[in-house]
């Protein structure tokens, strides 16, 4: 059951939403960043702040969990959900950090494509997380999970295509090293969203 009658537990869901909102903010800002020609120190700091805010919410949830007797669903599933949400924001932050360290200049059209798919997927993640509060949202949640899976497949194909293109056309090995890592990390964000969708589906099925 979702213990709809236990208002105290609603705060867990509020915290999940807050953590998901950080992931959405990170994805939206990432999309914004890759459309610019350059990542400066201020842009990097802003992304880092978003990641830090997400981290704080994750710690709040785990502290709350360790002190709570009653939880809206299994502890291990809450741990898994918090970890996946944290990993989404972390991985986006890692990509931006690498772009800065590797001094990636100019707009990379492939990274723009990845940023679009990532933003779509993370927005579906936030719908899924918000929907968990109440069984009546089951259809919306399952549909969004299907969408997250679809976007992971889109990301897989995109990564294969851009890597093939990179190894075909780029003659500078140092550039290959840099972009290969960034493209693979970008696809990993979509893998994490898919793992999160599995966690949520499993929670819903147990309570069905």
The secondary structure of residue 35, as a DSSP letter, is T
Q: How far is the CB of 114 from a copy of itself (least distance, A)?
A: 16
- Rounded CA-CA distance 49/132 in Å is 27
Footprint on this chain of a copy of itself (rule: CB under 8 A): 62-63, 66-67, 76, 97, 100-103, 160, 163-164, 167-168, 173-174, 176-178, 180, 198, 202, 205-206, 208
Helix (H, G, I), strand (E, B) or coil at 179: helix
Q: How far is the CB of 105 from a copy of itself (least distance, A)?
A: 13
Q: How far is the CB of 173 from a copy of itself (least distance, A)?
A: 4
Q: In the 8-state DSSP scheme, what is residue 132? A: T
CA–CA gap between residue 208 and residue 203 (Å, rounded): 9
The answer to whether 96 touches 33, Cβ cutoff 8 Å, is: yes
* Length of the chain, in residues: 208
Comparing CB distances to a copy of itself, the nearer of 24 and 162 is 162
Give least dist CB 102 to a copy of itself, A. Answer: 6
Q: CB-wise, 35 or 153, nearer to a copy of itself?
A: 153
Phi/psi zone of residue 108: left (φ > 0), alpha (ψ -120 to 50 degrees), beta? beta
Please say which residue, 35 or 146, places its beta carbon nearer to a copy of itself. 146
Q: Which is nearer to a copy of itself, 7 or 173 (CB)?
A: 173
The encoded tokens of residue 142 equal 């399952």
Q: Which is nearer to a copy of itself, 103 or 109 (CB)?
A: 103
Q: Within a 10 A sphere around the Cβ of 5, how many other Cβ atoms? A: 7
Pick the closest to residue 135 from 193, 86, 73, 197 (CA basis).
Answer: 73
CB of 169 to a copy of itself, least distance (A): 11
């Amino acid at each position: 059951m979702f213990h709809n009658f236990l208002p105290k537990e609603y705060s867990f869901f509020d915290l999940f939403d807050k953590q998901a909102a950080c992931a959405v903010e990170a994805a939206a800002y990432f999309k914004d960043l890759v459309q610019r020609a350059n990542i400066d120190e201020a842009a990097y700091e802003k992304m880092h702040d978003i990641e830090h805010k997400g981290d704080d919410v994750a710690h709040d949830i785990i502290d709350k969990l360790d002190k709570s007797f009653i939880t809206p669903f299994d502890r291990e599933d809450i741990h898994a959900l918090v970890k996946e949400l944290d990993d989404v924001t972390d991985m986006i932050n890692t990509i931006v950090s690498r772009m800065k360290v590797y001094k990636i200049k100019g707009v990379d059209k492939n990274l723009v494509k990845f940023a679009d798919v990532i933003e779509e997927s993370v927005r579906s993640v936030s719908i899924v997380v918000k929907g968990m509060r109440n069984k009546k949202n089951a259809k919306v949640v399952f549909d969004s999970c299907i969408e997250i899976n679809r976007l992971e497949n889109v990301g897989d194909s995109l990564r294969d295509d851009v890597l093939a293109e990179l190894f075909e056309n780029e003659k500078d090995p140092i550039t290959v090293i840099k972009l290969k890592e960034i493209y693979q990390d970008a696809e990993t964000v979509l893998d994490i969203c898919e793992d999160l969708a599995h966690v949520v589906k499993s929670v819903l099925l147990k309570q069905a």
